[in-house]
Structure 1
Amino acid sequence: MPDAWRLAVGTLTAVPVAAPRQVDRTTARNALLLAPLAVLPLGIIVAAVLILGRTADLPPLATGFLAVGGLALGSRGLHWDGLSDTVDGLTASYDRERALAVMKTGTSGPAGVLATVVVAGVQAAAFGALTDEVVIAGTLVCLSRCALWIACCTRVPAARPDGLGVGFTATVPVLVAAPAVLLLGVTGGLVVLALVAHAVRRLGGVTGDVMGAAVELALATMLVSAVAVL
């Protein structure tokens, strides 16, 4: 379990930790299951930014963007890169190999940039509306990582045999992945399911980029839903 903690924290946050002594599929699965707890520091960062923004009487949208920025720094922008690459790949070509090649380049095209701006803007606006509900905002950051359980379900294949995400792919049992739909909220869960299904249909499976995209889309959807309810 210590290796799983190190892998989860080291992969999903910028918190410095020792490297895992051994990384196998069991370690990868356990790291994914620990993901919501491993990113607790990110939830705290968001809550702290929202409190500071409210205390300083900053405009809500400005506070929201600062929260998004703090969250990106705390995760080394890993999931944002995944969102950009996924959208670029899926919009570049209907050919599977061409789409995967575009995703692997790591450069951001117009579609990826636009997707990043839109999703970041949605998250920022929602965070700004939750400055009086910082616990909820921080909790949603942590719960959004349950999107990885769906993307890495044993029923979901890998799109290619290499890449950062391949060691995590198809490691989470269905009985664990299924409740993630509820933990993400019905809407958030459906968004992630739709993304994963689309990736399997177009790419033959998921990649690390798709996993990152799932997290950011899940968080945006959950935040909007929370604002609508509150």
Structure 2
Amino acid sequence: MTQPPDGTPPRRVRPTSDSSATDTLPFWRRPVEIIRDDSRVFLVLNVATYGLFVLGFAAGLLFPGLSQARATTLEDDGTAALVGSVFDRPPLFALLILAVNVFRLSLLTIVVPSLIVPFAGLAFFGYWLVQTGVTLVPGSPEGRVALIPHALTIVIELQAYILVALGVFLIGRYWIRPDAARVTQRRQGYLTGLRATGSLALPALALLVVGAVWEAYSLRYFVHPLSQWLL
């Protein structure tokens, strides 16, 4: 890099993602480009997501009453009964898991609040992560065995939510700072963020499908043999 004529040191310009260039890519390449353009944000979201989950899990281990309270809540609100009614039918169980993960968590918890208030869904997502960490603390030896196959479910599903979270982060950033999306109006920035979220939703949905199928079948068919072998 050459020096400017006046001798002042050159300034480093941080590259920004070009949303128009991303939009011209085939749909299967857009998520990769979005993640590559915002790799630092993606990394921070990964660290924060798994960190908050581990924080909740650690809190549940240190304070067993928290996990017991969550178990009681799931019993009282009918969640445990609903899961029990479909547990022996893995295809239906997987559909139930997928519906909850897509509509209640991805859409209602993360996306919809962020369409009204920038980044609001990220706060709700963070709260859910801590709460879920507390909930998944096992209360029995069989529960500890169930965590072995369920650990993969956690990794898969959290990766899906991280993609959704990246999308709503971009909505908020482009909404507040349209120049980050190389547009001039907030409305244009908002729409650019929506398009990015839509692109990221495709791999997120694929991960949620895989996670739901694995969760339903692993809990139904793997936990009991593992318990007999390990306990």
TM (norm. structure 1) is 0.34
In terms of fraction of residues, the more helix-rich structure is 2
Q: With the length of structure 2 as denominator, give the TM-score of the two structures.
A: 0.34
Pair member with larger Rg: 2
